[in-house]
Structure 1
Amino acid sequence: MNDTAEKIDYSATLYLPQTDFPMRAGLPQKEPELVKRWQQMDLYKKLRASAAGREKFVLHDGPPYANGNIHIGHALNKILKDVITRSFQMRGYDSNYVPGWDCHGLPIEWKIEEAYRAKGKNKDEVPINEFRKECRDFAAGWIKVQSEEFKRLGIEGDFDNPYTTMNFHAEARIAGELLKIAKSGQLYRGSKPVMWSVVERTALAEAEVEYHDVESDTIWVKFPVVEGSAELEGASIVIWTTTPWTIPGNRAISFSSRIQYGLYEVTAAANDFGPQPGEKLVFADKLAAECFAKAKLEFKRVRDVSSDELGNLVSAHPLAGLGYDFKVPLLDGDHVTDDAGTGFVHTAPGHGREDFDAWMAQARQLEALGISAKIPFTVGDDGFYTEDAPGFGPSAEGGAARVMDDNGKKGDANERVIKALIAANNLFARGRLKHSYPHSWRSKKPVIFRNTPQWFVYMDKELGDGTTLRSRALSAIDDTRFVPAGGQNRLRAMIENRPDWVLSRQRAWGVPIAVFADDKGEVLLDEAVNARILDAFEAEGADAWFAEGAKERFLGNDHDHAKWHQVMDILDVWFDSGSTHTFTLEDRPDLKWPADVYLEGSDQHRGWFHSSLLESCATRGRAPYNAVVTHGFTMDEKGEKMSKSKGNVVAPQDVMKDAGADILRLWVMTTDYWDDQRLGKAIIQTNVDAYRKLRNTIRWMLGTLAHDKGEEIAYADLPELEKLVLHRLSELDKVVREGYDSFEFKKIARALVDFSNVELSAFYFDIRKDALYCDAPSSLKRRSALYVIAKLFDCLVTWLAPMLPFTTEEAWLSRHPGAESVHLEQFPTIPAEWHSPAVDTKWEKIRKVRTVVTGALEVERREKRIGSSLEAAPVVHVADPELMAALEGQDFAEICITSAISVVAGEGPADAFRLGEVQKVAVEQKLAEGQKCARSWRITTDVGSDPQYPDVSARDAAALRELGVGV
């Protein structure tokens, strides 16, 4: 060894990776710094300026309630939206995200009332606009908190100018939409059974209800037949119900002409009350035996009872003589089944939608028979019986019975009704039943179905153009793209079967139903009055409706103030959110109507998707969206619902504090978000591990590109391996763009992660490290690899930017220190020449053979016959002509990362290594001959061939000379 060689530090002559991009991400510390940087540079405005003049792509934000810190569902939702808007922005669109908040309604009003109760304060003693101001201030405070939490997630949008339903302009527009509906004749005041919260004193929409199992009283009740059949007079029709308290509201019995009924006689009884031997009762044949068993009775079947015979019957009310002395007709109803009960349905039109529909369908015929079709108001808003429930109302002995108290607990109504039925000898049997029952999703307390005057929008009224609101909505659903596709059928089924839309709520915080109506419910339609209302709302907000002198101010001198009553109900909050498309999409010049997409949780098929569809179809004849994307709900790692009581809640704030927002975003991107997802410590760690591998791939590229001179290499001059990598980029470009178009983020994330780990780190980079580190500056192979890695970096980092905004920003600024932001970039345009299926096909064959070689090398390492693959010089026997042809001209030793390799035609010896999945390839292991190069560590026979560099190979000696080392 000469003096020159002894002095050379070969590691200093290698092009080893050099980068300040840390291996340890430190996301919890780095991400807030980037958020601050984006705010200081006003990234949002720069994005808008860069996109000026482009085609708009608009995702309209479904508004969360401004009443608490964000939870994991919010994080999932906002991350998905952010990925969509960013991906379209980086693909040539003006994709502006405007966040919004739902500010009215019970969620916020309830919080203020809770604070009042804690202080012993009575809400009813506080002036309404003072109370409304407290609600407004409460919402404003939480909007600020949630804004910061969303920004910490990496959400980019117009947080300085969001939309809120309590903005004065928004309140004016919401009221204006209601007035449009009133003007078109779709608004009416009616009396129907609605879901009513006694606890909250208001009607509820289906979207405000959730179902929980409860145990209820259940009773079988006899209705004595009094008219219609001499043979059946003296017999009783038996009904079954889980709501005994609704018996005072009974006005009919429903049966089905599709069911077989029979007359039965009691032959023996072993009970304390109820039927005795000789009594005759009518049941559905399928259910009779089960019912008699419940009552501990023996029986015999007497004869058939036809549906024609049933249709002529009239029964007495089971509480006749106590103020219920009216006829109870039997009605043929499609809703009656023989799956449970008796085959007869107790029909209380004031306490159920199907009961109401069955009653109203035959109201005229009943009136003609002398049966009043009037529906009683048996239960008040406080859950107490009214005077329409004789024997149980205010004048009853002991005072009014109560269905439910202010805390949602069962009152005494059931027991008092049951005792009265026993006294009247009309209770057949009683029991208990566990079943699913509607609860308010806010108070978590049961609701009741109660007939009460409310304001509705017709679903089936003809609108002057041959359509109805229902037909318009169904047509709009057909014209909408749903992701996943099943959402279309779900929303369609809801629209097909829904009743008229109940708009009114008996609360204080919201946009009022700003109309005047007379005693008959007719609405005043006066453009001048409407203009005064809307002008006031625009200037002062909806508080103007509740201000002193509002009635006189708006009616003016043109109308009789005594005739017209100011409606004081507020609008269902779903009408507010259903109207957001008007004051956001239509009124903001940086957006457009209709939206390209709405994205929310699957519960919004009955919520925001639903109300937005109805509102827009009622006023504009079509949906306010072109596509609807749905996500599921986040469960814990066991697939159970998260709850504080279980201690299994995963808070996004905790994940960001411990791991970073990009870890949370990566989890969202790698889940099947269309379905329910799972999240917990183990899943977070899995994403941390996946992120670390991806980050290290980016880090290695940055380090390698530190030696990049920015040289362009003509495609024709590139080595075949580089052409293979560019071909894969061309294929991935299609996967990425189609994935973002179809909102299939998992497909993109999986493809990019696998490409990084398998095709780059474990294949291309592994092969090219030797040339990149050791080749001479002039080496075409080295320069080509740098050129391709630069393209890889640009593609991967921009493609990932919508998903991992923090990491990609950090990487982009590390590569391009003078750049403003990766988020101001566009996805790279992939040249058509990069797409080369022929190269891909050829290299698929080369990689097959390589798989066998690497398998053989792994055996040698395991058996400790070699330490590094560079110690090997295998002989590869190939009996497949196509595989042999693919290897021709290749530096297969470099591809397999061995110091030498021999490829020969033939089957190879019997004891050679083989893989079952790759036929006609065998590997015979041999050790490399020669000496180990002190610079590249390859074992070659030409080490020392250059006397100036006696301990390196000829390739390395040439590189050292070109570098001017030791010269």
Structure 2
Amino acid sequence: MTDTPSSEQRAKETGDYRDTVFLPKTDFPMKAGLPQKEPAILAKWLEGNLEGQIREARRGRDQFILHDGPPYANGDMHIGHALNHILKDMVVRTQTLKGKDAPYVPGWDCHGLPIEWKVEEQYRKKKLNKDEVPVEEFRAECRAYAQHWVDTQREQLKRLGIGGDWDHPYLTMDYEAEATIVRELLKFAANDMLYRGAKPVMWSPVEKTALAEAEIEYEDIVSTQIDVAFEIVESPIKELVGAYAVIWTTTPWTIPVNQAIAYGPDIEYVLIHHGDRRYLVAEDLCYGLSLRTGANERGSGAPPSGETKVTIYKGSDLAGTIARHPMHALGGFFARPRPFLAGDFVTTDSGTGLVHMSPDHGEDDFDLCKANGLDPVFAVEGDGKYREDWGWLGGQGSVINPKFNAPDGPICTDLREAGALLAASADYKHSYPHSWRSKAKVIYRCTPQWFVPMDKVMTHIEPKAPREQRWESEGGAINPAEEGLCDAPTLRQAAMHAIDRTRFVPEKGRNRIGSMVKDRPDWVLSRQRAWGVPITLFVDRKTGHYLNDPVVNDRIVAAVREGGVDAWNDARAQEYLGDKYNAADYERIVDILDVWFDSGCTHAFVLESGRWPALVRHDGSTHSADLYLEGSDQHRGWFQSSLLESCGTRGQAPYKAVLTHGFTMDSKGFKMSKSLGNTISPIDLMRDYGADILRLWALSVDFTEDHRIGKEILTGVADQYRKLRNSFRYLLGALDGFTEEERITDVTAMPELERYMLSLLADLDAKLARAVDDFDYNSYTRLLADFCNEDLSAFYFDIRKDVLYCDLGRAAPLGTDTRRAYRSVLDTLFHALVRYAAPVLVFTSEEVWGTRYPGAGSVHLLEWPEIETLLHPGEGRGPSPAGASSNPPEMGPRLRGDTALTEKWAQIRETRALVTERIEPLRREKIIRSSLEAEVWLPNEGGDVDFEEIFITSSVHRGDWDVKRTENHKCGRCWRHLPEVETDGSLCNRCDTVLTSA
């Protein structure tokens, strides 16, 4: 009976060696199809409760807690929103990969003006008045609106691959959260850290409420600028009596509330004679006044250019001077004297050097007038109109209306008729504050509000240890920020001290928030709205002091915990006050809290309540997250409100580190806006590209600065993704059929190239670990991509493909030792790289892992590879019938720090690049078709390296630089051109050997 010929024999007979060559084989497709695949992977995670599996796997480990800053629940996820959550997810996943227990509890801010404003817009469309609807009904609609967007954003963020406890997010509108916010407010009250006072605050006439600085954005506008003459009626300088003090302003509407005139004590003023009038103005600003008055015909009695200047006065000489209001004939308020007051804020940068003072509508105005016994008059109502009984323009407005302030508007018209308007023109361009939400202009308006004092000593905060003890405990170094903290600190001091002890990434964040806290005014807590947590205080109608009774406070907190903010109402006032007090004797405060106070309290609700067991510290401590992460605008927002709330109640920051990112611009560097039509929706991007492409973009940019996104940028990111995907595809194909029997465990027995690649991997591991510690995800992603593209695909894979394809035959069923070493290193690379990539490409890495180990569970359950002990098989190592171990492979000899090996191969790679460069012209001229047909001469050829293999050429000789087409024949199996190949298509010695039957 004749034996059936083997495939090797048939190949030799026919010259067709395709079936004898090992070609990588994998079901992992080159085309990603992410928009279709990712939802299925996400569904599998949710169905299998991957988050619960991770929590169980990391139970009892060292903890890393990132506290999620609550976004507003009012609209679809936008690109900045996506970037923010991708960064947070990267933090959590990398810390989890490092073996830590890093839970993520997402949250939403559900109170405040953004949501209330949207519900009001719905009312206006229906021609309904919010104030005519029961407040409980209105709040219910706000609550439903917020819940809708919480649910919507939650699904969008899940689709982005963000892992977390999505079934149990924290919402500031949860009754328990509302009760916690009330409890935190009452801590300030109990510690005498609240007061009610009248101060100018940012006020939105459109939204009819005070606004925080974080709710303000600045836009360029064009305003009316006017020069107004105030007649001087009394002065120690007799020559000034009867003259006119000239003031300049860009807010004409504040003239009806003027109470004084400020001057600079060190400024020099001159008295200008023009006709029968004399005008007092700063000497340095005379020319500007001449330009304004000479160019504007709407003024009356304005001094033209060429006027006579006489007598120079020092500002300090103006003390005791009194003027009268241009509308003094109206009597009452307008007939009162307008004193000249020294103000160190007065400059000669613009205007006239004399500033009219309206304590109702400016911080400097308020402080200076208050110090001189001039109180606000509250003439402008919440809607921006003068109150009905006001002597001039009563019931008119709105004061932010350009027409109201125009040169032909009612204010300028009346001033002109009174002979006081010297100039008026609607051409002054400047930056002006607007409401972040309504986009309407805001004003400074003095109203009674509730404040937290920044500079009052907090006696409830324990004093710092004596300086000598601190010196000893802190290694002999006292931080300057601690100076003055031996006694009980003020809130400002405590906050500055906490800032100094916090890590900031990038470091410039420290100065940014520090400068804001250092100079910020008292914290305005109250808002005049309906949807929010109420300021749950009772104020004694006789004394004006708020009630501070722990029993009453406990009743209020319990009621809010049971029924939410609606529990704070008149009907239950006596219930809270109990038998000890009479509700008729107390005013129940109806203002609500600044929404930043709400979000500033989330640390108390989320980190301390015990509602989320994963967030409970193992050591029993209940305070301070490891990290807060938000956009750089939150230095004046959530970072600061959380800092102040925590320092005011606990004497320390609620975070150990703060990471900030910049803003996403369009491809040209412009801010995104709907009006410009340059917005990019992450929802659309996921539909077109997939979430992993969006994640790769977010983690590739330098997020610490403002950064860009656009079609061309995303095309580049997609190309980068394809290269990473193809690296994994190659690894999967090249490792097809790999078994433990094939593994080489002795690293020292491997070829030098393999040892070099393991050394590079060890160096990469160290750099990636450092990037994780530094939150440097731009470097992390770049290092990973460069290693896959440059070290693997363009170098290692390229060199070793010949060994992979051809060093396997019947005579060597596991392949040559070189091939076995290569595949052993590929397995090591696979286990390391799939882990490194998992936090970045969350869906793709899962697809890669599942392709090789279908039954091994999620890649996101794995831990950081122990590169230092890779390759030696240890307990639980490698794939098994149940799948792959969640533990990385172990190693033998230490490879890190082998600088001699690294330097040697760095030189070899430089030479390889030069060879490739010299071969390319021959390829372009079609003298050769591939580098395998080239013979190379090098000045430094030699040593223990197979240069033909490294350069993928026919041969390499020592001599002057040269590259020529080889005369060697081509092996029919491996296609190498070698001296021993007798004719094209015959076999080289290596191929003949591996095809020889055993």
The answer for the alignment partner of 2:361 in structure 1 is 351
Cα distance in 1, alignment partners of residues 547 and 204 from structure 2? 30
The answer for the alignment partner of 2:895 in structure 1 is 834
Cα pair 1:260 1:284 within 8 Å, conserved: yes
Partner AA of 2:990 in structure 1: R
Q: Map residues 266-415 of structure 1 onto 2, 5 A cutoff.
A: 266=274, 277-296=275-294, 297-298=304-305, 299-323=307-331, 324-360=334-370, 362-363=371-372, 367=373, 373-386=374-387, 389-393=390-394, 400-404=395-399, 411=404, 415=409
Q: Map residues 423-438 of structure 1 onto 2, 5 A cutoff.
A: 423-432=417-426, 433-438=428-433
Cα pair 1:403 1:412 within 8 Å, conserved: no
Shift of 1:412: 6.7
Shift of 1:944: 6.4
Q: TM-score of the superposition, structure 2-length normalised?
A: 0.89
Cα distance, 1:411–1:291 mapped onto 2, change above 3 Å: closer
The one of 857, 862, 885 equivalent to 1:825 is 862
Partner AA of 2:978 in structure 1: T
Cα distance in 1, alignment partners of residues 804 and 508 from structure 2? 51
Q: Deviations over 1:360-406 (max 9, x none)?
A: 3x23xxx4xxxxx222111011222126742222xxxxxx221348x
More displaced 10-residue stretch of structure 1: 429-438 or 665-674? 429-438
Provide the secondary structure at the position in 2 that maps to 1:828. coil
Cα pair 1:666 1:687 within 8 Å, conserved: yes
Cα pair 1:55 1:94 within 8 Å, conserved: yes
The answer for the alignment partner of 1:955 in structure 2 is 990
Provide the secondary structure at the position in 2 that maps to 1:193. strand
The answer for the alignment partner of 1:249 in structure 2 is 257
Provide the secondary structure at the position in 1 that maps to 2:894. helix
**Is 1:57 the equivalent of 2:57?**
no
**Is 1:525 the equivalent of 2:548?**
yes
Q: Map residues 701-850 of structure 1 onto 2, 5 A cutoff.
A: 701-710=731-740, 711-776=743-808, 777-831=814-868, 833-835=894-896, 836-850=898-912
Partner AA of 1:250 in structure 2: N
Q: Deviations over 1:878-914 (max 9, x none)?
A: 3xxxxx6xx401111000001222235xxx2xxxxxx
Output the aligned Cα RMSD.
1.9
The answer for the alignment partner of 1:669 in structure 2 is 699
The answer for the alignment partner of 2:632 in structure 1 is 602
The answer for the alignment partner of 1:270 in structure 2 is none
Cα distance, 1:876–1:416 mapped onto 2, change above 3 Å: same
Cα pair 1:944 1:954 within 8 Å, conserved: no
Cα distance in 1, alignment partners of residues 10 and 44 from structure 2? 53
Cα pair 1:245 1:403 within 8 Å, conserved: no
Cα distance in 1, alignment partners of residues 289 and 860 from structure 2? 69
Cα distance in 2, alignment partners of residues 257 and 780 from structure 1? 91
Cα distance in 2, alignment partners of residues 442 and 452 from structure 1? 21
Shift of 1:8: 6.9
The answer for the alignment partner of 2:439 in structure 1 is 444
Cα distance in 2, alignment partners of residues 824 and 639 from structure 1? 39
Provide the secondary structure at the position in 1 that maps to 2:513. helix
Cα distance in 1, alignment partners of residues 69 and 354 from structure 2? 44
Cα distance in 2, alignment partners of residues 874 and 498 from structure 1? 72
Cα distance in 2, alignment partners of residues 618 and 413 from structure 1? 46
Cα distance in 2, alignment partners of residues 76 and 767 from structure 1? 38
Q: Deviations over 1:121-158 (max 9, x none)?
A: 22222221111111111111111111110000000001
- In structure 1, runs of 5+ residues without a counterpart are 267-276, 368-372, 394-399, 879-883, 909-921
The answer for the alignment partner of 2:669 in structure 1 is 639
The one of 926, 942, 948 equivalent to 2:980 is 942
Cα distance in 1, alignment partners of residues 269 and 838 from structure 2? 68
The sequence identity of aligned pairs, in percent, is 50
Cα pair 1:72 1:650 within 8 Å, conserved: yes
Partner AA of 2:899 in structure 1: P
Provide the secondary structure at the position in 2 that maps to 1:138. helix
Shift of 1:778: 3.8
**Is 1:513 the equivalent of 2:535?**
yes
Shift of 1:417: 2.4
Cα distance in 1, alignment partners of residues 319 and 517 from structure 2? 32
The one of 955, 958, 963 equivalent to 1:925 is 963
Shift of 1:410: 5.1
Partner AA of 1:326 in structure 2: R
Cα pair 1:861 1:867 within 8 Å, conserved: yes
Cα distance in 2, alignment partners of residues 112 and 3 from structure 1? 80
Cα pair 2:504 2:658 within 8 Å, conserved: yes
Shift of 1:7: 4.8
Q: Deviations over 1:419-453 (max 9, x none)?
A: 22223222222122122111111111111221111
Shift of 1:308: 2.2
Cα pair 2:64 2:95 within 8 Å, conserved: yes
Partner AA of 2:100 in structure 1: Y
Cα distance, 1:378–1:413 mapped onto 2, change above 3 Å: farther
Provide the secondary structure at the position in 2 that maps to 1:195. strand
Partner AA of 2:171 in structure 1: T
Provide the secondary structure at the position in 2 that maps to 1:675. coil
More displaced 10-residue stretch of structure 1: 766-775 or 895-904? 895-904
Provide the secondary structure at the position in 2 that maps to 1:182. helix
More displaced 10-residue stretch of structure 1: 699-708 or 117-126? 117-126
The one of 717, 727, 742 equivalent to 1:687 is 717
Q: Deviations over 1:147-188 (max 9, x none)?
A: 110000000001100000001110000001100011111111
Q: Deviations over 1:762-782 (max 9, x none)?
A: 111101111111113341111
Provide the secondary structure at the position in 2 that maps to 1:925. strand
Cα distance in 1, alignment partners of residues 369 and 760 from structure 2? 68
Shift of 1:689: 0.9
**Is 1:901 the equivalent of 2:956?**
yes
Shift of 1:525: 0.3
The answer for the alignment partner of 2:177 in structure 1 is 170
Cα distance, 1:412–1:869 mapped onto 2, change above 3 Å: closer
Q: TM-score of the superposition, structure 1-length normalised?
A: 0.91
**Is 1:574 the equivalent of 2:574?**
no
Shift of 1:929: 3.8
Cα distance in 2, alignment partners of residues 143 and 58 from structure 1? 22
The one of 918, 923, 928 equivalent to 1:856 is 918
More displaced 10-residue stretch of structure 1: 935-944 or 550-559? 935-944
Shift of 1:584: 0.5
Cα pair 1:401 1:416 within 8 Å, conserved: no
More displaced 10-residue stretch of structure 1: 314-323 or 665-674? 314-323
Cα distance in 1, alignment partners of residues 341 and 493 from structure 2? 29
Cα distance in 1, alignment partners of residues 575 and 17 from structure 2? 91
Cα distance in 2, alignment partners of residues 685 and 733 from structure 1? 28
The one of 712, 729, 733 equivalent to 1:699 is 729
Partner AA of 1:528 in structure 2: V
Cα pair 2:666 2:679 within 8 Å, conserved: yes
Provide the secondary structure at the position in 1 that maps to 2:271. strand
Provide the secondary structure at the position in 1 that maps to 2:832. helix
The one of 551, 567, 579 equivalent to 1:544 is 567
The answer for the alignment partner of 1:159 in structure 2 is 166
Partner AA of 1:143 in structure 2: V
Cα pair 2:251 2:405 within 8 Å, conserved: no
Q: Deviations over 1:532-591 (max 9, x none)?
A: 001111111111113x61212211221121221111111111110111110001123322
Shift of 1:506: 0.9
Shift of 1:317: 2.2
Partner AA of 2:498 in structure 1: A
Partner AA of 2:90 in structure 1: V
**Is 1:185 the equivalent of 2:229?**
no
